[in-house]
Amino acid sequence: MKRLLLVVVGVATLTSFTATAQSPTPARAAAKAPTFAKDVAPIMFNKCANCHRPGEVAPMALLSYEDARPWAKAIKSKVVAREMPPWGADMTETLPMRNDVSLTQKEIDTIAAWVDGGAVKGNMADMPAVPSLASGWTYGTEPDAVLEMPVEFDIPAEGEVGVQMFYSKVPWSEDRFAEVVELHPSNRSVLHHAGIYFVDLPEGTRLVNGRIVDENGKVISDRGSRGLPSTDSGLPGSSKLLSWVPGRGLDRHRPNIGKRIPAGKYVSWQMHYNPTGTPQKDRTKLGIWFNKVPVTHEVLIRQAGDPLATTKGGLSIYRAEGRETEYKADPGSTRRSRTTPNIPPYAENWKLTGITPVTEDITLYAMSPHMHLRGKSLKWVVTYPDGREQVILNVPKFDFNWQFNYELAEPLKIPAGSKISGIGVYDNSVRNKWNPGPQLEVYWSEQSWDEMYQPFTEYSVDSQDLTILKPVTQQRQ
């Protein structure tokens, strides 16, 4: 009996030893899991830190282990669901983008494994350097020049605030070109959208506190919600600098391709604010980084469905649920015809397609979708002269809270005879959780409960050659 007991004890001990040898201890398992310092920090610094740092839009910083550790489970949940970092493009259909912040599957798996393994810190010797980013600017470095809205604006606690127009003089004596421009609100919580344009003041007027007054000192009308008509200094369409909407407000161009900032013009600050329940203030700034090499072409901004801002004419076409209208080319217009029908109540997949014929060779650089709360998806398609179609950007789940300027990794040459189509889909049904009123007909206007169709497109005209002009000084200011 005693011998039998010894055998049983021995077998139990061997079994326990074998199980221990085959199953790693929690400490050993954690050692094999990814660590923050070696594996996770490089991902966060590259894809997250631009927003997740003090003073920027994200609710918490992710610049250290101490920043990230309390949020480990939430981080895993968001990245596995591909909700963070926010990126609306379907990259299985979209051309490669140079500002793609979406995570690869390997990066997602690394973060998930780090959390599942205990979210350990690791060896600080493996920690990469914290990125050096300029405070207040998502581009990361201090601008060469900063322009500021001429006055601080008071936003009331309640009510509907129309688009506000402010004006300031371009502060240099010759045209300059910007490789990068960024609009930075001082109060993002109240800014619905903004646009920066260049205009001429009407004869006999002047500026007082950023507003236009006549010779008697009376503030004059700004032609409704659109302000003064923008005026081009280069090719038609050069007068718009950039837009700001939630998620975007930074435009990066190429070293030799720039956005013209014309001397002698006035900056038109078109600001649309939404009251939030308490009185607020805002004074937005514009950061400018000049091109450092000679500029050969200027960037033009147009939207699919409008005539291209080129040297040649053409037609633009809108198709709304089978209804088609053709317009003669008007290089000075970005307005859609009033004949475009409104979105009917309860329409779940209401489609509006803008088609722009390409009348001369162009080069495409970036696209930016803008819609409101019924916006569901927006897709850009190029149809080449031989009939071949190419999807260049597909945003299948448009999110009003995260709107991007999608920058092509490589500029796309589009020959004359092609067409650019912007295919927008709207959801005015009860299935749309953001819909403020599915029973209502939806109009085209500025407010979020109305709608917009703006598939902005950035391009240059190949025939333009700015090198034959007088060289433009780009010294640091």
User: pLDDT tens-digit profile of 99-116?
Assistant: 999 999 999 999 999 999
- Strand, helix or coil at 147? strand
pLDDT confidence of residue 362: 93
Q: What is the domain partition of the chain in residue ranges?
A: 21-126, 134-298, 299-463
State residue 313's pLDDT score. 54
Handedness of CA 117, 121, 126, 127 (dihedral sign): positive
> Where does residue 469 rank: exposed (0-12), middle (13-18), buried (19+ CB within 10 A)?
exposed
Residue 471 pLDDT: 44
* Alpha-carbon separation of residue 288 from 16, 175, 196 (angstroms): 68, 13, 12
Furthest C-alpha separation in the chain: 118
Predicted confidence (pLDDT) at residue 134 exceeds the cutoff of 80: no
Q: How would residue 424 be classed by pLDDT, with cut points 50, 70 and 90?
A: very high
**Which tokens in the block code for residue 176?**
């300059």
pLDDT given for residue 24 in this prediction: 44
Residue 358 or residue 427, greater confidence: 427
Mean of pLDDT values over 154-159? 93
Mean pLDDT of 295-313: 75
pLDDT band at 188 (very low <50, low <70, confident <90, very high): confident
As a whole number, mean pLDDT of residues 60-65 equals: 93
Q: Quick check: 404 pLDDT over 60?
A: yes
Read off φ and ψ for residue 376, nearest 5 degrees: -115, -45
**306 has pLDDT over 60:** yes
Better pLDDT: 355 or 77: 77
Question: What is the structure's pLDDT at 384?
Answer: 98
Tokens of 286: 């514009």
- What is the rounded average pLDDT of the residues 228-251? 80
pTM for this prediction = 0.81
What is the Cα 175 distance to its own chain's centre?
26
Confidence (pLDDT) at 339: 65
Which carries the bigger pLDDT value, residue 19 or residue 433?
Answer: 433
pLDDT at 23 over 50: no
Q: Which amino acid is residue 178, in one-letter code?
A: A
pLDDT at 407: 96
| CATH for the 299-463 domain, from 3.40.50.720, 2.60.120.230, 3.40.50.150, 3.40.50.300 | 2.60.120.230
| pLDDT at residue 330, rounded to an integer | 46
Position with higher pLDDT, 86 vs 23: 86
- Asked whether this chain's domains 134-298 and 299-463 adopt the same fold, the reply is yes
Phi, psi of 262 (to 5 degrees): -85, 135
Q: Which residues does residue 363 pair with via DSSP β-bridges, in sequence order?
A: 413, 460
How long, in residues, is the chain? 477
pLDDT tens digit string along 240-249? 899 998 888 8
Of the candidates 291, 324, 222, the one whose C-alpha atom is nearest the C-alpha of residue 473 is: 291
Average of per-residue pLDDT across 433-451: 91
Strand-pairing partners, residue 422, are 354, 380
Q: Is the peptide bond before 85 cis (omega within 30 degrees of 0)?
A: yes
| pLDDT for res 258 | 95
What pLDDT is stored for residue 136 in this prediction?
78
Question: What's the pLDDT score for residue 418?
Answer: 94
Alpha-helical segments (H) within 23-103: 26-32, 41-47, 65-68, 72-80
Domain 134-298 class in CATH: mainly beta
Q: Where are the beta strands (DSSP E) in 311-453?
A: 315-320, 323-328, 350-357, 362-370, 375-383, 389-395, 406-414, 419-426
Average model confidence (pLDDT) across the chain: 84
Around 356, how many Cα atoms within 13 Å sit in the side-chain half-sphere? 30
The secondary element (H helix, E strand) that includes residue 45 is helix 41-47
Q: 331: pLDDT confidence band, cut at 50, 70 and 90? A: very low
pLDDT score of 157 more than 70: yes
Using the predicted structure, report yes or no on whether residue 17 has a pLDDT greater than 60: no
User: For residue 163, is pLDDT > 70?
Assistant: yes
* Least confident segment among 118-122, 328-332, 390-394: 328-332
Q: What average pLDDT does range 210-227 have in this prediction? A: 72
pLDDT over 80 (residue 7): no
Residue 51: helix, strand or coil by DSSP?
coil
Residue 209 has pLDDT above 80, yes or no: yes
Q: Would you say residue 118 has pLDDT above 90?
A: yes
